[in-house]
Amino acid sequence: MIISGKQYKSVWMQDGKVCLVDQNKLPFEFDTVICSTSEEVAKAIQNMTVRGAPAIGAAGAYGLAMSAQSAPEDDFGSHLRRVVDLLLAARPTAVDLRNAVLQVYEHTLSFLPDITQARVEAISAAETFASSSAEECRLIGEHGQSLIEDWMGILTHCNAGALATVDWGTALSVLRIAWSTGRKFFVYVDETRPRLQGSRLTAFELQQEGIPHAIITDSMAGWMMRQNKINLVITGADRICLNGDFANKIGTYSLAVLAHAHAIPFYVAAPISTFDFSCSKGEDIPIEDRNPEEVTRLWGKQLANPGSAALNPAFDVTPGELISGFITSKGIFKPQEAAHRIRD
C-alpha cells in the first residue's frame, strides 16, 4: 500500500523484529511499532495495534519465527508450543491467526533435531505465509474486479483493506484494482462501531487511492439500499466454514439480511487462510467478546450513560445462504462450494 507516497506493508520483519503499522493511531498519525518479543506481538494483536484477519495471521507467524531464534536448545519444541498458545489466545475469531501460526510451528518442528536449520526455516515459513497472503489478495482483486460496473454504489463494512492484510486487502483489493483499470464507482463506508475501522481506516485507504467515498453510520445502510444507492456489498471475513457460514465484523449479519431483502448482491472476499476446513457450520465459530468500555467510551471520553452496562461482541456470523458468493484467489464461488473448491 502507498501511504503519503511511500510503499508500506501492514506487517513485516526487519532485523529479526516484528514491525507493524500502528492501526490504533491512524488516520491521525502514521507510526510503526516494533515488537521484540512474542509477548509484545500477542499484546499488539489483542489491543488491535495490528488487526484484520490476514494481518494478525502474519503478525503471529512472524512472532513465532522471532521467538524460534532465541528459544533455548534444550527446550526448543516446548518453548515454541508455549508461544503458539500465547499467540493464539490473543484473539479467538479470525482463523488466519491459528492457520498461520500452526503453519510456521509445524514447518519449524519438521526440521528437528537440527535446531540451527529449524531457526532458519521458521523465518522462511513466516515470510512464505506473508508473501503468499499478499499475492493471494492481489489475485482476489483481479478476480473480483469483474463484479464492478461503472457508476455502481458499493457498500463495505469494517476495514478489509491493505491494513487488514499484509498488502492489497481483500474487499478493498477488488475496489483498488477495478479503480486502477478505469472503472468509476462510489463507495459507502460503514463507520463500523465501536472501533471505527470503517470511518478511520477504510476511508483513509480509499482517500490514499483517490477513490470517491462517503462515510455513513452503520444504521444508515438500510435506508441507502432502499433508495437504490447501493448496488453491491463487499466485505471481508474472519472465518469461513465448510457450509459457507462466515464470521465477520459485528454488523455484517444485519447488512446481509438487508442486502437479501433488497435483492442486492453481497460478496465476501478472503484468502485461503480465512477458511476453516475443520468448522462445518457457523454455530461452531468462537465469537470474541471485547471490553464493553469500547462501546461506552472513546479515546478516554465517556460517551454513554455512566453506570449502564454494555455488550461488545466483536463479530457476528452470517449464514452462507444470505450471500452471493466468495471472492477468492482461485476465483469466485457459490457460498456452499467455496471451502470445498479452495481445499481441493
**Catalytic residue annotation:** 238
In one letter, which amino acid is 80? L
Residues 87-106, one symbol each (x = binds ligand MRU by CB under 6 A, - = not), give -------x------------
Q: Binding residue for ligand MRU (CB under 6 A) from 12, 18, 38, 54? A: 54
- Written as nine digits, the cell of 263 is 435483492
- Restricted to residues 224-243, the positions that interact with ligand MRU (CB under 6 A) are 235-238
CA atoms of 312 and 288, how far apart (whole Å)? 9
Q: Binding residue for ligand MRU (CB under 6 A) from 314, 317, 327, 339? A: 314
Q: Binding residue for ligand MRU (CB under 6 A) from 13, 41, 52, 339? A: 52
Residue 108 or 235: the one with the smaller Cβ distance to ligand MRU is: 235
182 phi-psi bin (left φ>0, alpha ψ -120 to 50, beta other): left
Q: Binding residue for ligand MRU (CB under 6 A) from 249, 253, 272, 327? A: 249
**Side-chain half-sphere exposure of 79, counting CA atoms within 13 A:** 19
We find the least distance from the C-beta atom of residue 273 to ligand MRU, in angstroms, to be 10
How many other C-beta atoms can be found within 10 angstroms of the C-beta atom of residue 185?
Answer: 19
Collect all residues with Cβ–Cβ distance below 8 Å to 87 and sequence separation of at least 6: 38, 41, 42, 45, 60, 63, 64, 97, 101
Residue 64 or 90: the one with the smaller Cβ distance to ligand MRU is: 90
CA atoms of 195 and 298, how far apart (whole Å)? 9
Contact 39, 70 (CB under 8 A): no
Q: Is 193 in the site for ligand MRU (CB under 6 A)?
A: no
CA atoms of 159 and 203, how far apart (whole Å)? 9
State the virtual CA torsion across 195, 200, 202, 208 in degrees, nearest 10.
Answer: -160
Q: Which stretch binds ligand MRU (CB under 6 A): 48-56, 111-119, 180-188, 223-231?
A: 48-56
Contact 238, 115 (CB under 8 A): no
Q: Binding residue for ligand MRU (CB under 6 A) from 49, 67, 170, 296? A: 170
Q: Binding residue for ligand MRU (CB under 6 A) from 140, 160, 206, 241? A: 160
Question: Residues 180, 184, 185, 187: is their CA dihedral positive or negative?
Answer: positive
We find the least distance from the C-beta atom of residue 131 to ligand MRU, in angstroms, to be 16
We find the least distance from the C-beta atom of residue 121 to ligand MRU, in angstroms, to be 27
Residue nearest to ligand MRU (CB): 236
Closest alpha carbon to 338 in 218, 245, 255, 257 = 245
Residue 121 or 238: the one with the smaller Cβ distance to ligand MRU is: 238
Residues 4-43, one symbol each (x = binds ligand MRU by CB under 6 A, - = not), give ----------------------------------------
* Contacts to ligand MRU by CB under 6 A: 51-54, 94, 158, 160, 164-165, 170, 197, 235-238, 248-249, 314
